[in-house]
A and B are shown apart, each in its own frame.
Chain A
Amino acid sequence: MTTTISRNDLAGFNQTGFNQLLERRIDPVWLTQARKDAWAAFESMGWPNPRDENWMRSDLRGFKLDRYQPINESETQSVENAPVRLIQGVNVGGSLRSENGVVTTESLDPKYAAQGVIFGSLSRCARDHAELVKKYLHSQIDIHADRFAALQAAMWTDGYFLYVPKNVVVDKPLHIHAAMGDGKVDVTHVLVILEEGAETTVLFESTSPNDDAGGFHCGGLEFVLNARSNLRFVGLQDWGCGTWHFAHKRARVGQDANLQWTIAAMGSRFAQVDQQVALVGPGASSHVNGVMFTRDKQHLTYNTIQQHSAPHCTSDFLYKAVLQDRSRTVWRGMIKVDVGADKTDGYQRNDNLLLSDNARADSIPGLEIKADDVRCTHGSTSGRVDEELIFYAQSRGFTRVEAVRLIVTGFFQQIFDRVTIESVREALGVAIARQVRQYE
């Protein structure tokens, strides 16, 4: 039996809070040890240095960790009114829902379960499928990357584990919904393992009860794609605009495996996302799409790395942002090609459309190439929406707002064309149209 600890007894994200977390959890010994190691790493590090390349354009001054309380996962969590957008009209093969970082609903079509597919709470799977989780959890993310990576590894309350065995095809999309209440906390982890020849589609969305909701998300995400496997992953980040969002995301793509990854960032007041795709087997490929649409004083940072460690691999990153009001985006892209990774085909692009004079988009593409025979291209554009386009549409009867919405939708179309799932295209279209406000 678990002892109920009342809210008042909970400490924060500190030693006491960490000890309480260890006490109330039923983790395997190896996991407890991993948490302790991560906590030690957290304690040994300072907050990110503003001179660090990854953080120099991020302003953390408004962030106070002690304003947030770790979630007591032994208490019942419930988040009201957090809408789901990605699966309108979709027949899903399984779904997980978490509330304040604790999985409260798990389901999986029995036909997949019968084939050995595992899809469920990470806390539970760490006990029920210890060998698998132990092998892969935090195998890609460096917990010493920064304090948020260490804190996440030490204090995650739950997460989402997906394992698809060799040559198993999950032909219906799996859905994950992370709901976080206003002012609450979501410290979670996504772990997806595809064995050789496995195939699946995952639709992930994170939402708050309202557009202004606050909160603290500290997340980790790891994909391991073994040879010839195929993963389509869509993530819609739609937290309320008072939320702090920190995440480390890593994918490892094996021989002839393919990753199609779409990230749409609409919410949060501040987001710092480190995203890396490592191509580790010959013939591996990855297509990554990023959509950002910001307003008010939102500040979203994406640091992306395309790591080519094997020959004949393809990586194709396209990020597009539309900015309103006084919002700001930072995109740093880096293609790294190791010695011997010949015949690399690397592409990265970032386009930004500014709907306000007070918005700002920083775009910093980069290449680091140590192989001889490669083809790497990169580029970025930033500019105001063209008044001539607005006039043209107005002269055809569109109101000014309709004209701007049309131009914004057209701007993102190139990404929609790369998204092969219709419900996702529609959901993104709706989410984007909802964001366009009166444009002066």
Chain B
Amino acid sequence: MSHILRIENLHVAVDGKAILRGVNLEMKFGETHAMMGPNGSGKSTLGLAIAGHPNYVITEGTITLDGEDITEWEADQRARAGIFMAFQRPVAIPGVKTADFLRHAATNVRRPDRKEGEDLIPMREFRKELKAKMSQLKIDTEFARRYVNDGFSGGEMKRAEILTMAMLSPKFSILDETDSGLDADAVKLASASIAEIGRDKMGLLIITHHDKLLEHNPPQFTHVMLGGRIVETGGAELARELHDHGYDRIRKTYPDAEAANQEMLAKEEAVAV
């Protein structure tokens, strides 16, 4: 399979505030990309803009999937086309069982032209598949009966996101700090799970601060984001360098981007106050 997700000169604003200032990125099916960068540099914004969050307004540039311009598409159209994002903080949907949610989601994604009200994947077939995936990911089957992300611990939420990824088998997955809030063992498990489900089976864009999540997913490409731009791209060794030594070298090498990053952080704090 050959699929290409191409981001060209992407500018994104939130509440009228510019965050991304010209991001270029090309990912092929089967590749693993790491996206690193200090807080507030725009990593999550890139993920949410690709996923189609309505508050992340694309003011310039394009996103294309296999040559098709999806810049203006709704989030659900993108999901059906094969874009997936594992959220850093997925929201809870009280009263909706995880299994029911995933059955409906999987049906829509597998049959992109499904009309509302048409049949879902047969219950038996779906349960069997879900059970297999859960055991592969070492997730308790009791999970399926719980409400979507409702009362989940940090680790449970992240595993539920990976399970969702497994059920939807997208062409491209963006994993937004899937390691945040997890202890060392849980990160290890998450890393192994991502490799199990995603490695070579989709394009992976792993947003992270650390190299632990990359343990089982050595990136062919490591990108560094600063001030809303990708300022440097390297291989797996770049991820290790950033993890070991931090972003000082990057900040010094790209003073303009660093200034933009500081400006964005200041605005964020002003809003927070």
CB within 8 Å of B: which residues of A? 386-389, 391-403, 406-407, 409-414
CB within 8 Å of A: which residues of B? 51-54, 74-76, 78-80, 84-85, 87, 90-91, 93-96, 101, 104-106, 108-109, 116, 147, 164, 168
Please give the distance in Å from A319's CB to the nearest CB on chain B: 16
> Closest 5 CB pairs between A and B?
A413-B95, A410-B95, A397-B108, A394-B75, A396-B105
Given A397-B106, A400-B76, A406-B101, 6 more pairs with CB closer than 8 A? A391-B75, A392-B87, A395-B78, A396-B108, A402-B116, A414-B95
- Please tell me which one of the listed residues B52, B85, B105 contacts residue A398 in the complex, with CB atoms under 8 A apart: B105
Cβ-defined contact, A395 with B75, below 8 A: yes
Cβ-defined contact, A400 with B74, below 8 A: yes
Q: Give the residue name and chain of the A residue nearest to B170 (CB).
A: A397
Cβ-defined contact, B95 with A397, below 8 A: no
Cβ-defined contact, A396 with B79, below 8 A: yes
Q: Which of A399, A403, A413 has the most CB of B within 10 A?
A: A399
Please give the distance in Å from A393's CB to the nearest CB on chain B: 7
- The interface residues of chain B lying within 8 Å CB-to-CB of A409 are 95-96
- Please tell me which one of the listed residues B75, B93, B95, B116 contacts residue A401 in the complex, with CB atoms under 8 A apart: B116
Cβ-defined contact, B164 with A396, below 8 A: yes
Cβ-defined contact, B91 with A411, below 8 A: no
Cβ-defined contact, B168 with A397, below 8 A: yes
Secondary structure class of chain A's binding surface, majority of residues: helix
Cα distance A412–B147 when bound, in Å? Answer: 13
Q: List 14 A-B contacts (CB under 8 A).
A: A389-B91, A392-B87, A393-B93, A394-B79, A395-B52, A395-B75, A396-B79, A397-B76, A398-B104, A399-B108, A402-B104, A402-B108, A406-B93, A410-B95
Cα distance A398–B75 when bound, in Å? Answer: 9
Q: Give the residue name and chain of the A residue nearest to B74 (CB).
A: A394
Q: Which of B106, B108, B164 has the most CB of A within 10 A?
A: B108
- The interface residues of chain A lying within 8 Å CB-to-CB of B80 are 397
Cα distance A412–B94 when bound, in Å? Answer: 9
Cβ-defined contact, A411 with B95, below 8 A: yes
Cβ-defined contact, A396 with B74, below 8 A: no
Given contacts A406-B101, A410-B147, contact A395 B76 (CB under 8 A): yes
Please give the distance in Å from A104's CB to the nearest CB on chain B: 35
Please give the distance in Å from A419's CB to the nearest CB on chain B: 13
Cβ-defined contact, B94 with A413, below 8 A: yes
Cα distance A190–B179 when bound, in Å? Answer: 60
Cβ-defined contact, B54 with A387, below 8 A: yes
Q: Which of A389, A394, A400, A409 has the most CB of B within 10 A?
A: A394
- Please tell me which one of the listed residues B76, B79, B91, B116 contacts residue A386 in the complex, with CB atoms under 8 A apart: B91
Cβ-defined contact, B52 with A394, below 8 A: yes
Given contacts A387-B54, A397-B76, contact A411 B94 (CB under 8 A): yes
- Please tell me which one of the listed residues B76, B91, B94, B168 contacts residue A399 in the complex, with CB atoms under 8 A apart: B76
Q: Give the residue name and chain of the A residue nearest to B76 (CB).
A: A394
Cα distance A288–B125 when bound, in Å? Answer: 38
Please give the distance in Å from A386's CB to the nearest CB on chain B: 7
Cα distance A414–B96 when bound, in Å? Answer: 10
Please give the distance in Å from A377's CB to the nearest CB on chain B: 19
Cβ-defined contact, B95 with A396, below 8 A: no
Q: Give the residue name and chain of the A residue nearest to B114 (CB).
A: A397
Cα distance A411–B74 when bound, in Å? Answer: 24
- The interface residues of chain A lying within 8 Å CB-to-CB of B116 are 399, 401-402
Q: Give the residue name and chain of the B residue nearest to A417 (CB).
A: B95
Q: Give the residue name and chain of the B residue nearest to A386 (CB).
A: B91
- The interface residues of chain B lying within 8 Å CB-to-CB of A401 are 116
Q: Give the residue name and chain of the B residue nearest to A388 (CB).
A: B91
- The interface residues of chain A lying within 8 Å CB-to-CB of B106 are 397
